[in-house]
Chain A
């Protein structure tokens, strides 16, 4: 199962990288989101996909799933959500002000 997930993460990374390398603003944002999701998946795989009981002392399970990666991605997802929301608003404002969503036209010039 871990091997399969590694391939899925790899595919997500590939698509994300491809999207980031394009010029269009929205595609870049989508690419960044995909990469963030790939990383969240990766963190949860890092803890192992072992099936077992909940990690509680009262349950007396000897076989349980590591809870820390889940806590980590919960935080990472929330942060990623906030940053993506900000980035979407920012890109909308940039598009409105500059009248373009192509990064080639956003290089800036000498006189402004």
Chain B
């Protein structure tokens, strides 16, 4: 029992509710939201050290022991993601101060922002299947409003599609929960894992597993991503950066959790299927990223490639593959937020999203240009940056599991990423400067700090992976051996 676990969920929630009352005090809202995210990051670091010393931490709410109560479970994997979420959200909220505009700030922007963080942190920490559904709905409802806030024609149109597809996938999620409850008689993730291990994963359970793969695949942008490019490119920059960094990652987290803790008995069916979907996702996302000349579209297709690549590591289902997936997941959250923020600044400066209409920004904005270059290299996986270590482990995992085609497609997708981001770099930053500083539609003042923080982070993670390596190895150990998670949840009690 560790009461600290509830704070990353409840602190943003309470603050978001207070913000509704403080509608006209924008300065207070800005200050408080930054403080809350910093406090959550601090608490997360404390929990991280507790986990590395004493093993997985749990909190059975109301004192009802598992499997009867609803519990929060923090293993190293989920707590690393909560920490990354806090850092990314911190940078996005700082970016919002200058760019989001009075209108949105007056319409509960910060409140919705923190509700989204509540949902994301809750999804990472919960140990109960139905509770996962509830936290998904919390973050989805916040995201529906954040996308449509502003009410432009384009936004409303894309929000309609986004909401409809997500309601449908939530409906399938409920069907999966119903099947799961009827066949195992429990909703506690650890308990489900025990029951399925006892009874064996038969054909019916594998079908349910594929249903869950479908549900989380829609949210993660795994193969069923056709809604994603439209809806991620319409909201303002900090919101789309937050979505790119967090929302698809929640789906990926859920897939990794379900297919390492519960459905790990039939990898030749389920994990092979994840591998095929991941390969198709990388190829289709790569074609999209290469084909478009619209900077927002190129970046959103890069989100899709990232989702495919992380799940390629899960499909391999070896120690190296899982290690690579966790490294790459953390790297992807940071670098996707970074590259979306820079892309937003480019659009902000030039007033267009078409790459053919911009050129030579590096003369007036050298810092921005080189930071984009670092982000691009990191995205591709060039050695001293954070993308490299994840990429090498995922590729090694895929080859070890004899999924040669998957490893090859993963490397091919790196080339596609290389082409797509270099296209942005060469068209937007190189060439003749066609837009003088006076003609620019916006300024970079006040937005460079969050971008610099994220750039420093990706460099730091690349140079010193030993800093977090011991933590990530603990995470891999717990993911590859479900009994560690189960023992922590039941804490020595009898398993009914």
A: residues with CB less than 8 A from B are: 20, 25, 28, 32, 35-36, 39, 42-43, 46-47, 68-69, 72, 75-76, 79, 82-83, 86-87, 90-91, 93-94, 97-98, 106, 108, 112
18 sampled A-B residue pairs with Cβ under 8 A: A20-B164, A25-B160, A35-B171, A36-B171, A42-B175, A43-B174, A68-B181, A72-B177, A72-B181, A79-B134, A79-B137, A83-B141, A86-B144, A90-B163, A93-B156, A94-B159, A97-B151, A106-B157
B130: chain A residues within 8 A (beta carbon): 72, 75
Residue from A20, A42, A91 in contact with B178 in the complex, judged by beta carbons closer than 8 Å: A42
- Cross-chain contact B178 with A83 (CB below 8 angstroms): no
Chain B residue nearest to A36 (CB atoms) is B171
Counting from the closest, the 9 A-B pairs by CB-CB distance are: A46-B182, A94-B156, A43-B178, A46-B178, A39-B174, A79-B137, A106-B157, A32-B167, A97-B153
B151: chain A residues within 8 A (beta carbon): 93, 97
B154: chain A residues within 8 A (beta carbon): 108, 112
A83: chain B residues within 8 A (beta carbon): 137, 141, 144, 163, 167, 170
Least Cβ distance of B329 to chain A in Å? 27
Given known contacts A46-B178, A46-B182, A97-B156, what 5 new A-B pairs fall within 8 Å (CB)? A39-B175, A72-B181, A75-B134, A86-B144, A91-B160
A76: chain B residues within 8 A (beta carbon): 174
- Cross-chain contact B141 with A108 (CB below 8 angstroms): no
Least Cβ distance of B232 to chain A in Å? 14
Taking the complex as formed, is B453 at the interface, i.e. its CB lies under 8 A from any CB of chain A? Answer: no
B: residues with CB less than 8 A from A are: 130, 134, 137, 141, 144-145, 148, 151, 153-154, 156-160, 163-164, 167-168, 170-171, 174-175, 177-179, 181-182, 187, 230
Interface of A is mostly: helix
- Cross-chain contact A90 with B182 (CB below 8 angstroms): no
A25: chain B residues within 8 A (beta carbon): 160
- Cross-chain contact A94 with B168 (CB below 8 angstroms): no
Least Cβ distance of B235 to chain A in Å? 14
Report the bound CA distance from A97 to B154 in whole Å.
10
Report the bound CA distance from A69 to B130 in whole Å.
11
Residue from A46, A97, A112 in contact with B181 in the complex, judged by beta carbons closer than 8 Å: A46
- Cross-chain contact B159 with A90 (CB below 8 angstroms): yes
B177: chain A residues within 8 A (beta carbon): 43, 72
Interface centre among B153, B175, B178, B187 (most CB of A within 10 A): B178
Chain B residue nearest to A39 (CB atoms) is B174
Chain B residue nearest to A25 (CB atoms) is B160
Chain B residue nearest to A108 (CB atoms) is B157
- Cross-chain contact A87 with B171 (CB below 8 angstroms): no
- Cross-chain contact B178 with A39 (CB below 8 angstroms): yes
Residue from A32, A68, A97 in contact with B168 in the complex, judged by beta carbons closer than 8 Å: A32
Report the bound CA distance from A35 to B159 in whole Å.
20
Report the bound CA distance from A82 to B134 in whole Å.
12
Least Cβ distance of A23 to chain B in Å? 12
A97: chain B residues within 8 A (beta carbon): 151, 153, 156
Chain B residue nearest to A40 (CB atoms) is B174
Report the bound CA distance from A86 to B157 in whole Å.
14
Least Cβ distance of A3 to chain B in Å? 15
Report the bound CA distance from A47 to B47 in whole Å.
37
- Cross-chain contact B164 with A28 (CB below 8 angstroms): yes
B134: chain A residues within 8 A (beta carbon): 75, 79
